[in-house]
Amino acid sequence: FGASTESVEMNVATGTFGAWHETASNIHLAIMAGGLDGLGYGRALGRFIAQDGASLPTVEELTQSIRTQPQHPLTSLRADLLGALVRQHWHSGRVQVDHRWKHASILCHAWRHNVPVTVHPGIGYDIISNHPVFSGSAIGRAAEWDFKLFGGSVENLDDGVVLSVGSAIMGPQVFEKSESCVNNLRLQAGRKPIAGHSIFVVDLQDGGGWDWTKGEPPKTNPAYYLRFCKSFSRMGGMMRYLQCDNLAFIHNLFHELAQ
């Protein structure tokens, strides 16, 4: 507990940092297999964990599908998976990967309870980028589908609640683009933009000493440059900021909800 599994400084110097075979291979296997069934990043991983693995088609099946259906929406995905099967020597059929701690997995429980769950990766952010199996097209495709899935939840946000915990950049940036997309489609359909929602942001920083319920501060105030507050304060509704240890907040929230 509380310890890293490797020394970043030492392993970067030897060119071995982040070169974890199991992590990269299984994530790619999960999102490619899940993609064949129309699942994005989050749901594909959730199913992979819940079902202790996935099933892969044969090289011959993929080749035939690509050859006979070149314009099919899944052709590029099939090509990615075909390449991985050949280059990584993956076996077709059932691939068993036991997950002994699935009871503690958010993705697993989201899959089991049919709760939309999304992952929004950045190319090169994660250690899976170091592995030969890494596929920007597979990662990007799964993330695209998740962005659309996220937008489906934002579409239903009227009079709802947004809770952002510990995401200084990714969370607010994805949310603002998603809300813009949803409002664009609503206005084209003669509907009103999202309204009546409340936004609660939790992070370790002090919020710049600014009362964010009053809107964003002027550019002369250092708090203006706190992206996780400023972006959410521009998203309509009422934004409130709480400085708190993220883990402590989640534990206390769970305790209150479980009562």
Say if CB 226 and CB 204 are below 8 A apart. Answer: no
Pairwise CA distance, residues 211 & 160, whole Å = 22
Q: For residue 189, is it within any domain?
A: yes
Pairwise CA distance, residues 65 & 71, whole Å = 10
Q: For residue 3, is it within any domain?
A: no
Residues 237, 163, single domain; the answer is yes
Cα dihedral 122, 151, 256, 113 in deg (nearest 10): -90
Six-digit token string for 45: 């991983």
Q: For the whole model, what pTM was predicted?
A: 0.91
Domain span at 233:
155-258
Pairwise CA distance, residues 91 & 74, whole Å = 20
Residues 24, 145, single domain; the answer is yes
Say whether 93 sits in a helix, a strand or coil.
Answer: strand
* Cβ-proximal residues to 249 (8 Å cutoff; 6+ apart), any chain: 165, 202, 242
Order of all β-strands in the sheet with 238-243: 161-165, 198-203, 238-243
Residues 27, 144, single domain; the answer is yes
Residues 32, 136, single domain; the answer is yes
Say if CB 90 and CB 53 are below 8 A apart. Answer: no
Residues 113, 179, single domain; the answer is no
pLDDT at residue 2, as a whole number:
53
pLDDT at residue 237, as a whole number:
86
Pairwise CA distance, residues 114 & 93, whole Å = 26
Residues 129, 184, single domain; the answer is no
Nearest Cα residue to 20 out of 100, 143, 132: 132
Q: What is the CA radius of gyration of the chain?
A: 21
Domain boundary among 119, 150, 181: 150
Nearest Cα residue to 181 out of 222, 137, 150: 150
Say if CB 197 and CB 137 are below 8 A apart. Answer: no
Helices marked H in the chain: 8-13, 21-35, 41-50, 59-68, 75-87, 106-112, 136-154, 170-188, 227-233, 246-258
CA atoms within 13 A on the CB side of 251: 5
Nearest Cα residue to 194 out of 185, 206, 202, 203: 185
pLDDT at residue 1, as a whole number:
46
Residues 143, 27, single domain; the answer is yes
Q: For residue 2, is it within any domain?
A: no
Place of tokens 């950045």: 122
Chain-centroid distance of CA 1 in Å reads 24
Per-residue pLDDT 10s for the chain (259 aa) are: 456 678 888 989 999 888 889 999 999 999 999 999 999 999 999 999 999 999 999 999 999 999 999 999 999 999 999 999 999 999 999 999 999 999 999 999 999 999 999 999 988 888 899 999 999 999 999 999 999 999 999 999 999 999 999 998 899 999 999 999 999 999 999 999 999 999 999 999 888 888 888 888 999 999 999 988 999 999 998 899 999 999 999 999 999 998 8
